[in-house]
Structure 1
Amino acid sequence: MILLYGADTAQKLKEEISEMLSELNGYIPTLGIVRIGSNPADISYEKGAIKKFESLSLKTKVFEFEENITSEDFVAEFKKINEDDNIDGILLFRPLPEHIDEKKVIDVLNEKKDLDGISYKNIAKVFAGDITGFAPCTAKAVIKILESNDIDLEGKNVVVLGRSMVIGRPVAMLAIQKNATVTICHSKTENLKEVCKRADILIVAIGRAKMINDEYIGKDAIVIDVGINFADGKLCGDVDLENVKNATMATPVPKGVGAVTTSVLAGHLVIAALQRRMY
């Protein structure tokens, strides 16, 4: 089985980003990272993003708020960030605390600065097949890994395990744009193992540590593991990769899809800057 490491794809994206940056005539785009509280997973992703952006000569600015901030105050502060001309794109960590009115926050967000595809206009564009919309970064990272490894989706039977708006549904739409035939599975899907085994490409995003094994995977299938879990104190995916023999290719966790997501985010930032300042 060939392991599809994210670093290889990230390197290709770095080259694309460098070419786009040259069009900005020396202007350096800035990402606004907006976080409420100090969730360890958010902090970890934030540190990784900052490190990645520094390596690409991009700027970041962190806006951190206390968990007890009122919904009204947060919406007001978020509006200021959104309207700040020095901020070219925004990454908002979600889910927001329960007392924050997420709909009002999203309503404030300018879709041209929405780098992670959470605004209604961007999601609508993704579902309509309009490539001008920013898709959720993780979903797009899945497609980028397949593309960079010369895996053509046209005519392929793609099964997506998971139906969230963060990964499952948008990655299904992106695969359809590549002329794949897509099935979305979830907890209520009947004969789940049989449906998954028919996949040429199985994209797993269910959030259950090491649930998927050869009983779900057809011979010579390609498996993309988007899961991020902790088992026995170690980071792992939704796929029990050590016990998978049927797959011909698979992404590991860590060092798989996650390694590409911040590169996609960086690419979105540069595109946003180009759209705002050059066109």
Structure 2
Amino acid sequence: MNAIIVDGKTLANRILADVKDNVSKLRRAPRLRMIVAGENPAIESFVRIKTLRAESVGIQVSLDRFPDDVSTKTLIESCEQGDEDALIVQLPLPAHVDTDTVLSAIPLEKDVDVLSPIAYARFEFGEPEALVPPVALAVEAILSEYKISITGKRVVVVGEGRLVGKPVAEWFSHRNALVEVVTLESGSLEKSLANAQIVVSGAGVPNLITREIIQSGAVLIDAGTSESGGVLVGDIDPACSEKATLLTPVPGGVGPVTVACLIKNTLFLTRQRFA
């Protein structure tokens, strides 16, 4: 068995083309602001990619940069200011910053990443017009593109972080999947994956999931990225493609689709303001 390898770049480009078409019909360009604290090469890469993709569809992007020693209070004040339509607080923040308090300061109507408690609660409870977190939206786009059914499927989400594990597990639960969340500390990965029909991993551990521990025919969504020997790799060993039916590669899989979905959310929030 050879898995279908997801072409995330092509899917992302289609999403962005649709956003660009809709942006052109607005009475003004959407405005996206990013708050970036500290200097980190990985963060700079994410900021650059988001900026390029947003600007490519006609969104105006501004950056507010702060030094490593920025205070929690200063970042909160920055969140509460500005006339943008959408606001990103780029994670991770410096270790001394109270991240939860800063994220709580993101106005609901600008929370494009769905990271504030209020925005996440609206998503969690399935409220009408609630924004879906970008990674969960990317998973939805990929499964829809490849016509993967969800209802009643045994789904294992590896990791419970705020960006991947938590929102993705919630999204699957909304769609009546049988969801299990596994962390390296709380469960047996091998036992859980043995019967998993869909696996989404966001642990950030290189090649954590190998072909020996997955079920034959599983759908594998790799949302974990890390460096190994200077190369960007995912949580799922590429050799799993010999046993799975579908696999998202790293790079080129979930990542570009997630950025496109972030841009799509920016359009959504802009329309909400216009309404």
State the one-letter code of the partner of 2:32: L
Partners of 1:131 and 1:218 in 2: how far apart?
A: 36
Are residues 187 and 269 of structure 1, via their aligned partners in 2, closer, same or farther at CA, if it must alter by over 3 Å? same
> Can you list the C-alpha shifts for 1:236-264, whole angstroms capped at 9, x where unaligned?
00111135421011000000000111111
Contact 1:230/1:236 (CA < 8 Å) preserved in 2? yes
Measured against aligned partners, the alpha-carbon deviations of 1:139-167 in whole angstroms (never above 9, x if no partner) come to 32122211122212122111111111221
Separation in 2 of the partners of 1:126 and 1:256?
24
Determine the structure 2 residue equivalent to 1:224: 221
Q: Deviations over 1:49-79 (max 9, x none)?
A: 1111122121110111111223323322332
**Change in 2 beyond 3 A, CA 1:238/1:131:** farther
2:22 match: 20
1:263 to 260, 265, 268: 260
Deviations 1:191-231 (CA, angstroms, capped at 9, x unpaired): 42122121111111111101111122101111001111111
Unaligned ranges ≥5, structure 2 = none
Q: How does 1:201-220 map to 2 (within 5 A)?
A: 201-220=198-217
Aligned to 1:155: 152
Q: How many residues align?
A: 273
Unpaired runs of 5+ residues, structure 1, are none
Superposed, which structure 2 residues align to 1:1-12 within 5 Å?
Answer: 1-12=3-14
Native 8 Å contact 2:173 2:179 kept in 1? yes
1:188, 1:220 → 2: CA distance?
A: 27
CA RMSD of aligned residues (A): 1.7
Aligned residue number for residue 234 of structure 1: 231
Match of residue 176 from structure 1: 173
Match for residue 79 of structure 1?
80
Mapped to 1, the partners of 2:154 and 2:240 lie a distance apart of 23
d(CA) in 2 for partners of 1:191 and 1:261? 28
* Distance in 2 between residues matched to 1:37 and 1:241, nearest whole Å: 33
Amino acid corresponding to residue 67 of structure 2 in structure 1:
E
Deviations 1:122-143 (A, max 9, x none): 1112221225223332232122
2:22 aligned partner, one-letter code: M
Distance 1:116 1:66 in 2: 22
Contact 2:207 2:236 in 1 (8 A): yes
Contact 1:225 1:250 survives alignment (8 Å): yes
- Report which stretch shifted further, 212-221 or 266-275: 212-221
Q: TM-score, normalising length from structure 2?
A: 0.93
Task: Quote the sequence identity (%).
Answer: 29
Q: Is the 8 A contact 1:143 1:171 kept in 2?
A: no
Note if contact 1:213-1:244 (Cα within 8 Å) is conserved in structure 2: no
Cα pair 1:122 1:135 within 8 Å, conserved: no
2:107 counterpart SS class: coil
- Corresponding position of 2:111: 114
* Alpha-carbon distance in 2 for matches of 1:30, 1:259: 21
